[in-house]
Structure 1
Amino acid sequence: MSKPTASDYIRGSLYGLAAVSIWASWIVAARLGLKTSLTPWDITAIRFGVAGSILLPYLVRKGLAVDRLGGVGLAAIVLGGGAPMVLVSYAGLLFAPAAHAASLYTALIPVLVAILAAVVLDEAFTVAKRIGLALIVIGVLGIVWGAGGTIGSRQNIGHALFIAAGMLWACYTVAMQKARLDGLHAAAIAAVGSLVTYVPVYVIMSGTTLFSAPWRDVALQALVQGVLTPVISFWLYGRAVSILGASNGSAFAALSPVMTTLLAIPILGERPATIDRIAMLLISGGVYIASGGRGARKRHSDNEKVCSDLNGPKTPKVAERPLKTL
């Protein structure tokens, strides 16, 4: 994939920021739902019952893209973007607060994607990317520390679940990029796959218990979890990845703690502590560097030019190396 131009970076950044804004809302909305009358299984059923129904006609027209994904890639899309990933992340909210979810799930996504993309897609792990990802990790650890995360506590169950969800999403991202799927197509495969596999099992196991929940709770989850997150944000995220690449596009996920905190102030009345603010600045700086910000890209290009001048003209490549299998 060729390096994005300055205009590409701006377009990709807008897509990435819009997707992350929606991701922040699903964390807050899910936390609210779990505090009222809903369970992770309820919210997951609402999410894919709505999203799968919306995207079913689109998937019928586009197909499963098995020829491009292969069996392993298709499994990565369904597991990483469907009910398994969602259930793991929602279950984590039963043990740990929303701030931890934003830090250990969405904020760690660029780190996990960058590692997986380097192995599967042979994406370059540049010095700038390493610096940016290091800042992200430091910021994530600072937020968890400031939120009271401790080793050996019940919260660690939630932490492990958040990290597991992030790993599943990283597989989704790399599989989507490897197969050159657009964001809406990948979202449709994941949503409809969960509609036909998870929702019937949920109905058999739970019956009509969901109908006894307050309609406002169900309507909120249907909007945020069923439309905005798995349809709109997946399309936005897919556009960011297609423009900026898998690891660069996913780096915007690290802004989730910042967005989640800003959203939680008016809705949940939670204000960040000083350490949280410092950590968010580190994460924001890390996102800019790791995602190929204009200044970082210019410095990287200048360094490459200097090295080229010192080493002489490069010998043209005979052939591109094939992509490794997922």
Structure 2
Amino acid sequence: MSPRSQGYLFVAITMVIWGGFTLSSRLNAQWGISAWDITALRFALAFCILMPILIYKKDTAFLWHKEPFLLAMIGGVGYCLTSYTAFHYVPAAHAAIFLNGFVPLCTAVAAWLLFKEAFDGHTWLSLLIMLSAVAGMSVLMYQETGVAFGIGDGLFFISAIWWGVFTVLLRHWKLSAWHSMAGVAIWSAIVYVPIYMLFLPKNLSTPTPIHLFGQVIFHGIFVVIIATLAYVEAIKRLGAFKTGSIVTLAPFMAAILAVPLLGEPLSPAIMCGLLGMAFGALQPWRWLMHKDSLQQRLEQQKKQSK
């Protein structure tokens, strides 16, 4: 396979897993798997896989720096607890709107607050589109149910803040994909699993063993390890802009699939939120600008060659 074909293969793998995260997290709520349980089991399994590899490779020195620990508390424990809990309150479509839709915006705001990175014109336009979509969605939801937003929506928005800060710190600290992934998984397990074992409620007897086993394998191996590595490999072959634009579609596609697969509603309010947030997050106008600039460079090269 050519590097370009390999890149699209890695993108497809990432999209399937990220879309599966949305659907499977919603199934956790239906199967009685609590956020406390799946977070602990997810990181415990990843720890059991990754720590022996790091010890074998004699590559554990990076764990004792502050960066992996802070990333684990923000993008590991904090993000998982709020996002998994939110799925117990609202349908999967709300995750696409209030979590994945707001991640680009929260990332831009975090970059401005932490490192004084100014908003560009694309970010301001996305902000306007997203706020308009949320406003329209809230009006429609209030007309339909008498409630504009719920606790699950708030938890998803907090999750977007966690992930935005995590993304900015990861980019600023320039950790490799392997070290960031392993550091988040290992420190999350070291800190959270003992707290879970000693103090937090456990509900492992409610779900069936096959459901619990399947979720632990998927979230502990596929989400934590495989999706991260596939995403990085896709960026190497296709570039960050194209890769990021394509994989952002995954949660929105999962929200649509949740209608027939999970029997979840797709009201006019949800459609308004999905379409508006997807448009604002994907920034399709940048594709057109990117194509125009690429075409101009090709034409200039042709002129220079003549």
Match of residue 157 from structure 2:
163
- Taking a change above 3 Å as real, the CA distance of residues 79 and 145 of structure 1, as seen in their structure-2 partners, is farther
Match of residue 195 from structure 1:
189
Q: Which amino acid aligns with 1:29?
A: S
* Structure 1: segments with no counterpart, 5+ residues: 1-6, 304-326
Q: In 1, are the aligned partners of 2:77 and 2:192 still within 8 Å (CA)?
A: yes
1:63-142 alignment, distance < 5 Å:
63=60, 65=62, 71=66, 73-120=67-114, 125-139=119-133, 142=136
User: For structure 1, which segment, 279-288 or 189-198, has the greater mean C-alpha deviation from structure 2 after superposition?
Assistant: 279-288
1:244 paired residue among 240, 244, 251: 240
Q: In 1, are the aligned partners of 2:93 and 2:256 still within 8 Å (CA)?
A: no
Instruction: Give, in angstroms, the shift of residue 192 of structure 1.
Output: 0.9
Distance in 2 (alpha carbons) for counterparts of 1:98 and 1:178: 31
User: For structure 1, which segment, 173-182 or 121-130, has the greater mean C-alpha deviation from structure 2 after superposition?
Assistant: 121-130
Q: Does structure 1 residue 231 correspond to structure 2 residue 225?
A: yes
* Structure 2: segments with no counterpart, 5+ residues: 297-306
Deviations 1:6-51 (A, max 9, x none): x99x988875665344233222212222222321111112211222
Q: Does structure 1 residue 50 correspond to structure 2 residue 45?
A: yes
Identity of aligned residues (%): 25
Match of residue 35 from structure 2:
40
Match of residue 296 from structure 1:
289
Instruction: Give, in angstroms, the shift of residue 53 of structure 1.
Output: 1.8
Q: SS of 1:210's equivalent? A: coil
- Taking a change above 3 Å as real, the CA distance of residues 209 and 115 of structure 1, as seen in their structure-2 partners, is closer
Q: In 2, are the aligned partners of 1:109 and 1:250 still within 8 Å (CA)?
A: no
Q: In 2, are the aligned partners of 1:20 and 1:253 still within 8 Å (CA)?
A: yes
Q: Does structure 1 residue 269 correspond to structure 2 residue 263?
A: yes
Q: SS of 1:101's equivalent? A: helix
Deviations 1:153-208 (A, max 9, x none): 69532222211111111122112211222333212111111222212232334698
Q: In 1, are the aligned partners of 2:33 and 2:207 still within 8 Å (CA)?
A: yes
1:271-286 alignment, distance < 5 Å:
272-274=266-268, 276-277=270-271, 279-286=273-280
- Taking a change above 3 Å as real, the CA distance of residues 291 and 151 of structure 1, as seen in their structure-2 partners, is farther
Q: SS of 2:33's equivalent? A: coil
Distance in 1 (alpha carbons) for counterparts of 2:216 and 2:240: 30
- Taking a change above 3 Å as real, the CA distance of residues 94 and 114 of structure 1, as seen in their structure-2 partners, is same
Q: Which has the higher helix share?
A: 2
- Taking a change above 3 Å as real, the CA distance of residues 207 and 103 of structure 1, as seen in their structure-2 partners, is closer
Q: RMSD of the TM alignment (CA)?
A: 3.9
Distance in 2 (alpha carbons) for counterparts of 1:257 and 1:143: 18
Q: In 1, are the aligned partners of 2:21 and 2:223 still within 8 Å (CA)?
A: yes
Match of residue 176 from structure 1:
170
Q: In 1, are the aligned partners of 2:11 and 2:230 still within 8 Å (CA)?
A: yes
TM-score (norm 2): 0.75
Distance in 1 (alpha carbons) for counterparts of 2:247 and 2:139: 20
Q: Which amino acid aligns with 1:28?
A: L
- Taking a change above 3 Å as real, the CA distance of residues 213 and 278 of structure 1, as seen in their structure-2 partners, is closer
Instruction: Give, in angstroms, the shift of residue 261 of structure 1.
Output: 1.8
Q: In 1, are the aligned partners of 2:33 and 2:203 still within 8 Å (CA)?
A: no
- Taking a change above 3 Å as real, the CA distance of residues 151 and 291 of structure 1, as seen in their structure-2 partners, is farther
- Taking a change above 3 Å as real, the CA distance of residues 204 and 268 of structure 1, as seen in their structure-2 partners, is same
TM-score (norm 1): 0.71
Q: In 1, are the aligned partners of 2:107 and 2:165 still within 8 Å (CA)?
A: yes
User: For structure 1, which segment, 108-117 or 97-106, has the greater mean C-alpha deviation from structure 2 after superposition?
Assistant: 97-106
Instruction: Give, in angstroms, the shift of residue 76 of structure 1.
Output: 3.5
Q: In 2, are the aligned partners of 1:107 and 1:255 still within 8 Å (CA)?
A: no
Q: In 2, are the aligned partners of 1:108 and 1:137 still within 8 Å (CA)?
A: no
Q: In 2, are the aligned partners of 1:81 and 1:172 still within 8 Å (CA)?
A: yes
Distance in 2 (alpha carbons) for counterparts of 1:190 and 1:149: 42
